[in-house]
């Protein structure tokens, strides 16, 4: 009971300080370059996967803890995945023509990062370092197959059964990032943000046969208002 009272008192102090300080509310949008690392037996036989570029967008709030530190919860939609693209070529009239198949795995996540931010002001700029945890829920996922003969031709696309026992819809991970924003006016901020994220849980878990974790980088443009 004593610990609970101390925790509630700490939360109330943060809320009270935030109300008296400047709260920042904003939106962000950008690109997520992600990669699913396959391990286990299946991973040993895959010749390699490449990264997947998807969109990421959402909203965020900065709640001040002090002059330079703040807590920043976010809510984002992010498309992650990877590409499997084994290629070969055939010689036609002395020219090598690429032939192969490309499989794209796409997973659509709702994410809720909770970050601790440190800001250092240099003139009109705020230089920002951030770290924290990422809580995510996979809304849907798909596999798309394309044949390659000079150009890519779509063959088929299947939705992954998200209720399957080998799919983990909930994910947790860590985030590290750097960024900056610029004070356009007294209450409007424009900025950019670069971050790395790494999952702790497997999206696909087949015991010794296969496991797969997300990792990647994201780049955002932000716009925010100071209240």
Give the model confidence (pLDDT) of 82-137 as tens digits: 887 765 555 544 555 556 777 888 999 999 999 999 999 998 899 999 999 999 99
Q: Provide the CATH number for the domain around residue 59.
A: 2.40.160.20
Contact present, 221 and 209 (Cβ < 8 Å): no
Domain count, the chain: 1
Tell me the per-residue pLDDT of 56-74, one tens digit each, with 9 for 90 and over: 999 999 999 998 999 999 9
What's this model's pTM, rounded to 2 decimal places?
0.79
- In sign, the C-alpha dihedral spanning 7, 60, 139, 40 is negative
Q: Structural domain of residue 57, as residue ranges?
A: 2-226
**Measured distance CA(176)–CA(157) in Å, rounded:** 34
């Amino acid at each position: 009971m004593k610990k609970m009272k101390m925790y509630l008192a700490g939360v109330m102090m943060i809320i009270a300080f935030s109300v008296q300080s400047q709260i920042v509310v904003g939106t962000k949008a950008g690109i997520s370059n992600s990669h699913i690392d396959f391990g286990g037996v299946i991973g040993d036989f895959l010749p390699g996967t490449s990264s997947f570029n998807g969109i990421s967008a959402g909203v965020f709030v900065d709640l001040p803890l002090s002059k330079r530190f703040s807590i920043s919860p976010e809510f984002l939609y992010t498309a992650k995945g990877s590409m499997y693209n084994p290629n070969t070529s055939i010689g036609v009239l002395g020219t090598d023509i690429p032939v192969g198949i490309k499989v794209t795995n796409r997973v659509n996540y709702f994410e809720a990062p909770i970050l601790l931010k440190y800001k250092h002001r240099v003139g009109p700029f705020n230089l920002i370092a951030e770290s924290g945890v990422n809580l995510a829920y996979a809304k849907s996922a798909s596999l798309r197959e394309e044949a390659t003969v000079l150009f890519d031709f779509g063959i088929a696309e299947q939705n992954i059964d998200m209720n399957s026992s080998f799919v983990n819809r909930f994910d947790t991970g860590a985030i590290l990032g750097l960024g900056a924003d610029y004070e356009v006016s007294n209450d409007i901020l424009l900025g950019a943000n670069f971050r790395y994220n790494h999952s702790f849980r497997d999206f696909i878990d087949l015991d010794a046969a296969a496991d797969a974790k997300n990792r990647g980088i994201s780049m955002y443009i932000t716009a925010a208002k100071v209240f």
